[in-house]
Amino acid sequence: MSANHTVRPGFLLLGSSGHANLQGLCFTVFLIIYLMVLMGNGLIMLITVVEPSLQSPMYFFLRNLSFLEICYTTTTLQKMLLAFLTGDGGISFLGCAAQLYFLVLLGSTKSLLLAAMAYDRYVAICDPLHYSLLMNRRLCVRLVMASWVAVIPVQVGQTYQVFTLPFCASHNLHHFFCDVTPLLELACADTFWNQVVLHTIILLYAVLPFSLIVVSYTRIVRAVLKMPSVLGRRKVFSTCSSHLGVVTLFYGSVMVLYFKRWSRDSADTDKYLALFYTAVTPMLNPVIYSLRNKEVRIALKRLPWKK
């Protein structure tokens, strides 16, 4: 084995290394965020199951999105909380591979699921007479399953491609969790094809779904502007505003992160932006749906009286 390689079995996450005197505060803050993610998204899942008025396809997708948010945040925050609590940012080789795989899997699935939700809103507003026929239970289940299954083989391949690279003597990841770009920076080999695969995946699972969302809402806006009733317009926009808020938060933070990387700015900014879309965004989603959706607010008020 050459001298510039190491036999260390894992990596050291140094995302919080610059805040050694704030470990306790960081642990408290992110524990609160994690609990809010669990409670907020768990509550959304509960009311969309027990409330009869929330059994439409829109809330079926929302329930799956909330479940995905819990999984997504758990993938990163549990290890972060342990690191803040113990001061040990070490993670095994297999643990890092598993974290990367589930991170990109859940992120890509979320992107596809948001596109499916946009299609649901498009059919509901632009073709309301055929909505119940087109968006039947079978199609909704298939869309959700496709959002998960379509991502699995690609992300397995990407994770395998990253972790078969030879890593240099330093296994220090200046990040809060195992992500593709920080790992590629540690590789002792040409990562050109890894970069090609990474940007292809971004194109397939981020740019393409976002384009479909833009097309759906462009047609929705055209349909709404043709409505003669101002009250009808407001009602339609209110049913879309929650989804638009979630889309803006997710894709906005992801786009800022990747434009920031291309501009070669500070790596510290990258890790905080990544932390925002993996932790803060899942916490805000239930708040957005609670504040912007009248049916959800009514269901929340009824919930204490449910058996």
pLDDT, one tens digit per residue, over 65-80 is 999 999 999 998 988 8
Of 93, 114, 83, 82, which is closest to residue 13 (Cα–Cα)?
Answer: 83
Q: Would you state the pLDDT for residue 267?
A: 60
Mean pLDDT of 264-286: 77
Kind and range of the H or E element at 172? Answer: strand 172-173
Q: Over the stretch 171-210, which tens digit does the pLDDT of each residue have?
A: 888 888 898 888 988 888 889 999 899 889 989 998 999 9
Residues 24, 102: Cα–Cα separation, whole Å: 27
Reported as a single tens digit per residue, the pLDDT across 195-251 is: 899 889 989 998 999 999 999 999 998 888 888 777 777 777 777 888 888 888 888
Q: How confident is the model at residue 156 (pLDDT cuts 50, 70, 90)?
A: very high
SS3 89: coil
Query: What is the structure's pLDDT at 261?
Result: 58
CB 124, CB 131: distance < 8 Å: yes
The helix (run of H) or strand (run of E) holding residue 184 is: helix 180-185
Residue 78 CB-half CA count within 13 A: 11
Judged by DSSP in three states, 90 sits in strand
What pLDDT sits at residue 259? Answer: 65
Q: Is pLDDT of 305 > 70?
A: no
Q: pLDDT band for 7, please (50, 70, 90 cuts).
A: very low
Q: What is the DSSP string of 247-267?
A: HHHHHHHHHHHHHHHHTT--H
Q: Is 216 helix (H, G, I), strand (E, B) or coil?
A: helix
At which residue do the structure tokens 């027990």 appear?
Answer: 50
pLDDT score of 63 more than 60: yes
Give the mean pLDDT of 90-105. Answer: 92
pLDDT for residue 6: 42
Q: Is the pLDDT of residue 5 over 50?
A: no
Give the E-state strand segments of 3-104 in sequence order.
Answer: 10-13, 90-92
Whole-angstrom Cα distance, residue 180 to residue 163?
Answer: 10
